[in-house]
Amino acid sequence: MNRHAVAFALLSAALFGVSTPAAKALLGAIDPAVLAGLLYCGAGVGVAILRRVARRFLAPGAAQAPLAAPDLPWLAGAIACGGVVGPILLMVGLARTEATAASLLLTLEGVATALLAWFVFHEGFDRRIALGMACLVAGALVLAWTGEPTLSGLIGPLAIVGACVAWGLDNNLTRKVSLADPLAIVELKGLIAGPVNLALGLWIGGALPAPPPLAIAAIVGFFGYGVSLALFVVALRHLGSARTGAYFSTAPFLGGLAAIVFLREPVTPALVAAGILMGIGVWLHLTDDHEHEHLHEPLEHTHAHVHDAHHQHAHGDGDPSGEPHTHRHRHAPMRHRHAHVPDMHHTHRH
């Protein structure tokens, strides 16, 4: 288990979770649909600036791999699903569904991500991982439950379920390009999804806010959506979609803790129960020991790496020195046995 990747996934969830009460505080001054667009725009613009500043401090050989032509269809699909289809379906659903029912249904994003990863993209899992996912989702459901939900018709709830499926597909498609520069991925997602959502919000009757709340929304979007998503992409690279999505399911709990600390909200039995369930779920994932003999097929790609057991290749004259470094390299066929997760070097079927 890559503990650093787990930490990135949990930090991604924490930043997104903290952004929820921050966005809640902005809703009085900004229309919800317009706010969604501003958050994405803040993510795209902020990460674009960060990417160009960070590039100056990196050695050329240690730079992240750029997006390549084969990555673009996957990324376009991810942006279309997660940045356009998902928000549109969510707004349609929220307009026709009670808030309590909507909150419960939105917890299905983690389930959709895992089910698509396991049964469509053939990502490996076992009973322990499935049980951990169930505990994490149960914790999110406990937090979302505020009473007996009632559903006024099927169109609204089905639209929200569709949004969750769109975001689950977005997560799995983003994993396909996760070896590329995560800041470049987030920049493109934000700069495309942001204006689309903003235009949609203005089209349905919203208005741009005054400069102070607009600036705050951009800052919240930068950290809660931009930096969070960049960390999420790195976690996808090392953990796979289902496990990263499971850790990200802790966002409502971490957001609840932030609300207690910063907004002085009370500690509720639901928050305690959710914390216990999510703690069990994270523990089940962290202590999973998935080990079996497996075959690595021949593979050629580009990404930042060190010369570990999976990167024993020769260097040419033009390849960078020092580690970590980035260059195109080929993996020879290899069969061995060790504990592993479905990272980008362990995409074999079971």
Q: Each residue of 64-107: pLDDT tens digit?
A: 778 888 889 999 999 999 888 888 887 777 667 765 666 667 77
What pLDDT score does 75 carry? Answer: 94
What pLDDT score does 62 carry? Answer: 58
Asked if the model's pLDDT at residue 41 lies above 80, the reply is yes
Which range has highest mean pLDDT (13-22, 98-107, 195-204)?
195-204
What proportion of the chain, given as a percentage, has pLDDT over 70? 91
pLDDT tens-digit readout, 124-134 = 777 888 898 88
In angstroms, the Cα distances linking 202 to 18, 32, 177, 206, 260 are 26, 11, 32, 5, 33
What does the alpha-carbon distance between residue 169 and residue 109 come to, in Å, rounded to a whole number?
A: 9
In angstroms, the Cα distances linking 72 to 69, 113, 122, 168 are 6, 21, 21, 18
Mean pLDDT of 147-154: 60
In angstroms, the Cα distances linking 186 to 52, 191, 192, 236 are 13, 8, 10, 13
Helices 3-26 and 32-55, packing angle to 10 deg:
140
Asked if the model's pLDDT at residue 289 lies above 70, the reply is yes
Domain spans in the chain, listed from the N-terminal domain onward:
3-56+67-290
Higher per-residue pLDDT: 100 or 272: 272
Scan for tokens 């994932």, then name that residue. Answer: 285
Place 159 in a pLDDT band, splitting at 50, 70 and 90: confident
Q: Which two tokens stand for residue 205?
A: 């009757």
pLDDT tens-digit readout, 221-263 = 999 889 999 999 999 888 888 888 888 888 777 777 777 777 6
Which DSSP letter does residue 122 get? Answer: -
Decide: 107 and 141 in contact? Cβ < 8 Å.
Answer: yes
What pLDDT score does 151 carry? Answer: 55
Count other Cβ atoms within 10 Å, centred on residue 76: 13
CA angle, 331 then 335 then 341, to 5°:
80
Phi, psi of 74 (to 5 degrees): -65, -45
What pLDDT score does 46 carry? Answer: 95
Give the mean pLDDT of the chain.
82
Decide: 337 and 294 in contact? Cβ < 8 Å.
Answer: yes
Asked if the model's pLDDT at residue 148 lies above 70, the reply is no
CA dihedral 41, 46, 47, 51 (to 10 degrees): 140
β pairing state of 325-331 and 334-339: unpaired
Asked if the model's pLDDT at residue 186 lies above 90, the reply is yes
Length of the chain: 350
Residue 10 φ/ψ region, left for φ over 0, alpha for ψ in the -120 to 50 degree band, beta for the rest:
alpha
Mean pLDDT of 106-126: 83
What pLDDT score does 206 carry? Answer: 83
Place 149 in a pLDDT band, splitting at 50, 70 and 90: low
Beta partners for residue 305, in sequence order: 325
